[in-house]
A and B are shown apart, each in its own frame.
Chain A
Amino acid sequence: MTIQQNLIGRIALNPTAEGGLSAGASQTNAIEETFRRIGEQGGTALIPFLTVGDPDIETTLEIIEQLEAAGADVLELGVPYSDPLADGPVIQRASARALQQLISVRTCLEVAQQARERGVKMPFVLFTYYNPVLQTGLDTFFDEAAAHGISGLIIPDLPHEESADVLERADRANLALIPLVAPTSSERIEKILRNGRGFVYCVSSLGVTGERASFHEGVDAFIRDVRSRTNLPVAVGFGISSREQVERFAQSCDGVVVGSAIVRKIESLIPNLMNADQREDALLQIRKFVAELKV
């Protein structure tokens, strides 16, 4: 039985699972807790991203364990999508590989739960385009996300103006709908941050996800501006791929997201990961790569 079938079967038998809708916005959220702890220690949260099911579910689970061991503080679990508008070629390719494994949003939730069962402690943020959420059904999605140990959500194609239905359910389920702000947001920042929870995700530059040599020229002023308008932790992402870049943003941010660089590392190691003799070593290489990003 595949994970996907297993999940559907279990949900049919036990539709409310363990979470239900009893949680509320007044409760503390694991992401906020994590940022508070790291902030007290004067550190910067490392937030890696991976695409669930790339190259397969078991490997994703083992990589998640390695990421935590490498010092990851919060993990973004990318839901593969057929039309990833906000993503560059690296994550597009990872999405396509995962879709060949028929990974759905439900599979991703199941993977989150399995990672917990294996003892992974860091909070999970689900990165998903809006349509898979919508097709799951908003109520079902939020019940299941909370029940499967998801603490936050990033929906890159759901701007503030369209987010009311999602925000209401996220608050009820004690999930942080992470607000995204871009260098082009200007006067929108205030409005976007008003209902923000978890942390603020600052998009470092114009464009889609993917490594880049330079950032938007006004990125530091932009981050200062965002910081002056919120008490939430501020994280930066899009294009950050090296320790040097992490250090650069650690000066001004509470957290740094690294996505495409890790996904590319995984991609380059797929043949090794698929080879029983080299798998262990490949997993260690991923761990080492991420550990070097931790400041």
Chain B
Amino acid sequence: MIQQVPDAKGRYGDFGGRFVPETLMNALIELEQAYLHYSADEDFNAELNDLLKQYSGRETPLYHAKRLTEHFGGAKIYLKREDLNHTGAHKINNALGQGLLAVRMGKKKVIAETGAGQHGVATATVAALLGLECKVFMGEEDMHRQQLNVFRMKMLGAEVVPVISGTKTLKDAGNEALRYWVSNVQDTFYILGSAVGPHPYPLMVRNFQRVIGDETRRQILESEGRLPNTIVAAVGGGSNAIGMFYPFVHDHDVKLVGVEAAGKGIDTPLHAATMTLGTKGVFQGSMSYLLQDEYGQVQPAHSISAGLDYPGVGPEHSYLKDTKRAEYQPITDEEALDALKLLCRTEGIIPALESAHALAQAGKIAPTLGSDQLLVVCLSGRGDKDVESIMAYENKGGDAE
């Protein structure tokens, strides 16, 4: 049974909560109060909706991918084109929301963590737009993988802070952003990019991203007169997926499928299959599924996609998994690359590596469904940023990223 989540303590069943140093507790409580206040404020919502429309270019199309549908044979496939947002991915939805909130709260400085660089670019963009000082924490390894995005952020006036601790990827960028926030909590707003972290972040990010699902619902009703049978979205921390799923959670006939990164395979140590292989634990401020060893040490994740290369997952996804409202499936690096190339050639769309994981899973599901079935894939971002790492991967025969 799906309850209204989260509860007052930020809990989604067993998951979520607030596991942070005491120094941050009052800041999180203030943030929660400010968010609850402004999310019900007409002016705030009018300004956000105006920016989403005039600045980001929403609504994004729900595109019927005819040639992809023919190729897979089976369900009719629609792509929710979040890749067409200004800055190239869904991350802008949330960055705009939190950026406006930062301004309302009187903060002049924002920080963010980033993996693939999409959230960093979105935050740098919003900071430029709103006149805020911006620092983006990014793992050194990801800075190599995503050099274009590093340069974009700098062009937009942000400082990119290399993170050299731990695995030098998204998880450590998140740790470093939280450490910086502890030191600068009085004048700094942390624009967290995924539906993870301590309460109220998972709630706030989900609600700023639910525009994806709300639009999809309206658009599919317009074009088909009925709801989709299946919705597929990629899950790293899970913000595009939760934004897509949430408006459909109570439509029990709509099957929700989250897709996580299996890296080199779930039978190898090199994966990011948190839902398939993880166990419950506390990580980066909340209780959720987690890749960890028996002593509670967090295990490094692996994926060709920097945005899915994360050992944790948002608490609401863990709740949807445990209540069986959504299912979560792993897709390997190879499968994702094949799906990426397929979309390029059938539809002339270069998807992000993250989104390619969702496409690969759609390719497994679609042929099992009748042609009267509707399948929506969240195309969470575009692949321009990944072209270099795909080239490197191919040149090295699939051994590197």
Q: Which residues does A use to contact B, with CB under 8 Å?
A: 81-83, 85-86, 88-89, 92, 96, 99, 104-106, 129-136, 156-162, 180-186, 188, 192, 203, 206-208
In the complex, are the beta carbons of A131 and B23 less than 8 A apart? no
A-binding residues in B (CB < 8 A): 9, 17-27, 165-166, 171, 175, 178-179, 182-186, 279, 281-285, 290, 292, 294-299
**Judging by beta carbons under 8 Å apart, are B18 and A85 in contact?**
no
Given contacts A104-B297, A159-B18, A206-B186, 4 further A-B contacts (CB under 8 A): A82-B166, A85-B21, A134-B281, A135-B294
The answer to whether residues A203 and B19 also contact, given A85-B175, A134-B296, A135-B292 and a CB cut-off of 8 A, is: no
Q: Tell me the minimal C-beta distance from B361 to chain A in angstroms.
A: 29
Give, as a whole number of angstroms, the nearest-CB distance from B287 to chain A: 8
B9: chain A residues within 8 A (beta carbon): 161
Partner of A203, one of B23, B166, B186, B282: B23
Cβ of B183 and Cβ of A184 under 8 Å apart?
Answer: no
Minimum CB–CB distance from A216 to chain B (whole Å) comes to 10
B166: chain A residues within 8 A (beta carbon): 82-83, 96
Q: Is the CB of A132 within 8 A of B183?
A: no
A203 touches B295 (CB 8 A): no
A92 engages B182 (CB within 8 Å): no
Indicate if the CB atoms of A136 and B297 lie closer than 8 Å.
Answer: no
Cα–Cα, bound, A156→B178 (Å): 13
**Cβ A132 vs Cβ B295 within 8 A:** yes
| Closest chain B CB from A15 CB (angstroms) | 17
Q: Which residue on B lies nearest to A89, using beta carbons?
A: B165
Whether B21 and A131, one on each chain, are in contact in the complex, defined by CB atoms closer than 8 angstroms, is no
Would you call A105 and B295 a contact (CB within 8 A)? yes
Q: Name the contact of A81 in the complex, choosing from B23, B171, B297, B299 (C-beta under 8 A).
A: B297
Complex CA gap A134/B166 in Å reads 22
A156, B25: Cβ atoms under 8 Å? no
Please tell me if the beta carbons of B282 and A130 are within 8 angstroms of each other in the complex. Answer: yes
Query: Cβ of A105 and Cβ of B296 under 8 Å apart?
Result: yes
Contact A182 to B22, CB < 8 A, known contacts A206-B185, A206-B186? yes
Q: Which A residues are CB-close (under 8 A) to B17?
A: 162
Q: Which residues of A contact B22 (CB under 8 A)?
A: 156, 159-160, 180-182, 184-185, 188, 192, 203
| A107: nearest chain-B partner, CB-CB | B295
The 24 listed contacts between A and B (C-beta, < 8 Å) are A81-B297, A82-B297, A83-B166, A83-B283, A85-B21, A86-B182, A130-B282, A131-B296, A132-B295, A132-B296, A133-B296, A136-B295, A136-B296, A158-B19, A161-B18, A181-B22, A182-B23, A182-B25, A184-B25, A184-B26, A188-B26, A206-B23, A206-B182, A206-B186
List the 8 shortest-distance A-B pairs measured between CB atoms, nearest first.
Answer: A135-B296, A207-B183, A132-B296, A104-B295, A182-B23, A131-B296, A82-B297, A82-B298
Residues from chain A with Cβ under 8 Å of B279 in the complex: 135
